[in-house]
Amino acid sequence: MSSSPLQIEAKKLAALYARWLRLPEDALFHGGRGPVMKMYEALKSAKGKDDIKSILDLSKYEMEKQTFNDLTRLVNEILNRIQNMNDSDAVAFTLEVFRYFQIALATKIEDVKKGYWA
């Protein structure tokens, strides 16, 4: 099964920001379920760009300051990219970014444990 250009773009974005995120454990697991997991869950019921903007309002989530700063950059990038998309593409793209972002962060955590990341 081939990926759509939208999926490929979402994967690239997720991988890039996962590399930059300094505290992957905080983003995924802060207080059990971190902001990234909570946003992904909420995005599953998003209907359009207004829902996405509301869900990606980072002030609603608990996290470390560094994580807040790193996720702010990702959220701004997503909002910028979906600006000219229709609602259904915007939701699909954002969901895809967060799905791959979680995978990339979990992989990074494992790689750090194995000593692949300094």
| Domain residue limits, the chain | 5-114
Global confidence as pTM = 0.93
CA 100, CA 13: separation in Å to the nearest integer? Answer: 9
Q: What is the pLDDT along the chain (118 residues), one digit of tens a residue?
A: 467 999 999 999 999 999 999 999 999 999 999 999 999 999 999 999 999 999 999 999 999 999 999 999 999 999 999 999 999 999 999 999 999 999 999 999 998 888 876 5
Residue 61, burial from CB neighbour count under 10 angstroms (0-12, 13-18, 19+): buried
